[in-house]
Amino acid sequence: MIRILLPYHLRNLAQVEDEITLKVEGIVTLNSIINSLVAEYPMLQGTILNHLNQKRRPLLRFFVCGEDITHDSMDTPLPDAVLNSTEPLIVVGAIAGG
Amino acid sequence: MPGVRLLVGTRKGAFILTSDADRKKWDVCGPHFGGWEIFHMKGSPLNPDRLYASQSSGWFGQILQRSNDGGKTWEPVDNTFAYKGETATHQWYDGSQHPWDFKRVWHLEPSLTEPDTVYAGVEDAALFRSTDGGISWHELDGLRGHDTGPSWQPGAGGMCLHTILQDPTNPLRIFIAISAAGAFRTDDGGKTWKPINRGLRSEFMPNPTAEVGHCVHRIALHPSRPTTLFMQKHWDVMRSDDAGDTWHEVSGNLPTDFGFPIDVHAHEPETVYVVPIKSDSEHYPPDGKLRVYRSRTGGHEWEALTNGLPQSDCYVNVLRDAMAVDSLDSCGVYFGTTGGQVYGSADSGDNWMPIVRDLPAVLSVEVQTLQ
C-alpha cells in the first residue's frame, strides 16, 4: 500500500482527515500514484496534474524520503520505502499568496 | 413563505444569506469551500434547490460544485473544460499570438428552459454548455471560432467571458460579453455568433470604433423587454434597443461613467442601477462615497442612492458580478464589495442596510426569490 499526504485543501476536497492509503498496480511512480489517487477520489481530478495537459500544477511539489522529486520524471520508479509504506508521498502546496 | 436567498462568492469561500420577505433579518451560512475563490454561484430558475458554484484556486485549478438541496450539501461535478478542435490563438498583451489556455470559470448561467442545462463562461474566453447538470461540458465553439477570435485580447483581469444573458422569449438567442473583446449574440442556439458592438467607442483602441476589442464590463436586460440591453463598459454606460445591433451612450449626469456592475429593476424595465467608480486607475468610489446610481428613465438622468451607505472614507470596489435584484413586490437590490460588505435594499434602492460587513472580498452576488 502507498501512503499519500495531501495539502489541507485537497484533504478537505477528498473528505479525508489524514493520510490516504492506496493500492497502486504495476510500477510505482508519481504518474501511477496520481492516476490511482484520482481513480479512487475523482473529485481530485485536475488538482495535482492539470488534466487538460498533464502538467503539474506549478505551486505544488512532491517529496519522498526527505527528497524533492518534483523535477524527476513522472515515470521514475519510487524508492522501496514508499512501496513498503515506510515513507509517504508528500504533496506540498507552496506557502504563498494572501 | 416567500423569502430570498443570496449566493455570495468571495475570495475565500461561499456564503449563503437567507431572509424572509421583509429582508430585515438575515441568516448567514458559510463559509462553504473555505479558502477557495468562489467566482460565481447561481441557482436554476426551474429548480431553486439546484445550485452551481465555480470553485477556483491558484494552487489546485478549477472545481465545479453542484447542490441539489439549496446549498446545504454539495458534490463536485465535471471540471473538464477542454476547448474543441485544434488549439487556436488570440492576441496577447504585447500584440503577439498566444494559445487559448483554460484558467477558470467566471460565470455560470442555468438554462431558463431546460432543468439540466447550464452554461459556463470561462477564461480564456469561451462558452461551454452542460446538458446533464454539470456531469460533462462541451464547448460552443462557434463563438471562439468567430473570424475575429485571433484579434481578441485580455483585459487587466484576463480574457474572460463574464456575462451570459438568455432571451426568455427566444431560447435560441443568447448574449455574451468578453473582456476585452466585446459583446456577441447568437440567434441559433450558439452555433454562430455576431459581434454586437456598433456604437461603442473605446479611446484606448487604435480604432476606437472597431468591431471587437471593447472592454465590456457587464450587460443586463429586463425579461419583459429582451431587445433592450444596458451595458456598463470600461468607460461609458450604454443602451441598445435593437438587441445589441446598435448602442448609444446614456451616462448622462453620472459623476463618472466607469464601473463594473449594471442591473435592471425586477418590475420596471426602465429603472437601471450602476455603481460609479472613480477611474480605471483608481478602483474606488469618487470622493470616498459609496453611491448606487439609479435611473428611472432608462439612462441619461441618474440619482444618487446613499441612505444607509457609507458617505465618507469608503474605498471599496464593486465587481461586475456582484449586484443582483430579487423579484418580490418591492424589488430588492443587493451588492457586495471588495471590502467584504454585502448591502441590501428592500425598497428599490431608497434605503440600504449592511447584511454582513466582514466577509472576504466579494466576487459575486446572486439572488433567488423563493416562493
Say yes or no for a CB contact (<8 Å) between B62 and A45: no
Q: Biggest alpha carbon distance in chain B? A: 57
Residue ranges of domains in chain B: 3-370
- With a pLDDT cut of 90, the percent of chain B lying above it is 96
Say yes or no for a CB contact (<8 Å) between B63 and A13: yes
Say yes or no for a CB contact (<8 Å) between A47 and B58: no
DSSP A97: -
Peptide bond into B180 cis (omega under 30): yes
Average pLDDT over residues B332-359: 98
Average pLDDT over residues B192-208: 96
Name chain B contacts of A60, Cβ cutoff 8 Å. 59-60
Cα(B183)–Cα(B157) distance, rounded to whole angstroms? 17
Which residues 201-260 of chain B have a CB within 8 Å of chain A?
none
- pLDDT tens digit string along B209-235? 999 999 999 999 999 999 999 999 999
Name chain B contacts of A46, Cβ cutoff 8 Å. 61-62, 79-80
Say yes or no for a CB contact (<8 Å) between B59 and A57: yes
Say yes or no for a CB contact (<8 Å) between B81 and A7: no
- Distance from the Cα of B82 to chain A's closest Cα (Å) equals 7
Say yes or no for a CB contact (<8 Å) between A51 and B80: yes
Which residues 344-363 of chain B have a CB within 8 Å of chain A?
none
- Smallest Cβ–Cβ distance between A46 and the set B35, B36, B79 belongs to B79
Cα(A88)–Cα(B20) distance, rounded to whole angstroms? 51
Task: Count Cβ–Cβ pairs < 8 Å, chain A vs chain B.
Answer: 43
**Averaged confidence pLDDT in chain A:** 95
Banded model confidence at residue A97, pLDDT cuts 50, 70, 90: low
Banded model confidence at residue B155, pLDDT cuts 50, 70, 90: confident
CA B73 to chain centroid: 25
Banded model confidence at residue B157, pLDDT cuts 50, 70, 90: confident
- Smallest Cβ–Cβ distance between B59 and the set A42, A52, A93 belongs to A93
Supply the pLDDT for residue A98.
59
- Distance from the Cα of A52 to chain B's closest Cα (Å) equals 7
- Smallest Cβ–Cβ distance between A52 and the set B58, B76, B82 belongs to B82
Average pLDDT over residues B268-279: 97
Q: Which of B36, B59, B338 to mutate to test the interface with A (most CBs of A within 10 A)?
A: B59
Does B36 lie at the interface with A, CB-CB under 8 angstroms? Answer: yes
- Taking CA–CA distances from B11, the nearest residue in chain A reads A98
Q: Which of B76, B99, B95 is nearest to B86 (CA)?
A: B99
Say yes or no for a CB contact (<8 Å) between B76 and A43: yes
- Taking CA–CA distances from A96, the nearest residue in chain B reads B59
Does B63 lie at the interface with A, CB-CB under 8 angstroms? Answer: yes
Say yes or no for a CB contact (<8 Å) between A7 and B59: yes
Name chain A contacts of B81, Cβ cutoff 8 Å. 52
- Taking CA–CA distances from A52, the nearest residue in chain B reads B82
Does B60 lie at the interface with A, CB-CB under 8 angstroms? Answer: yes
Supply the pLDDT for residue B59.
95
> Whole-model pTM?
0.97
- Residue B181 pLDDT greater than 70, yes or no: yes
Average pLDDT over residues B265-288: 97
ipTM: 0.95
Residue ranges of domains in chain A: 2-93
Does B102 lie at the interface with A, CB-CB under 8 angstroms? Answer: yes
Domain A2-93: CATH class, spelled out: alpha beta
Supply the pLDDT for residue B143.
97
Supply the pLDDT for residue B86.
79
Q: To which CATH superfamily is domain B3-370 assigned?
A: YVTN repeat-like/Quinoprotein amine dehydrogenase (2.130.10.10)
Read off the C-alpha cell for B26. Answer: 438575515
Name chain B contacts of A57, Cβ cutoff 8 Å. 59-61
- Smallest Cβ–Cβ distance between A47 and the set B35, B61, B82 belongs to B61
- Distance from the Cα of B6 to chain A's closest Cα (Å) equals 24
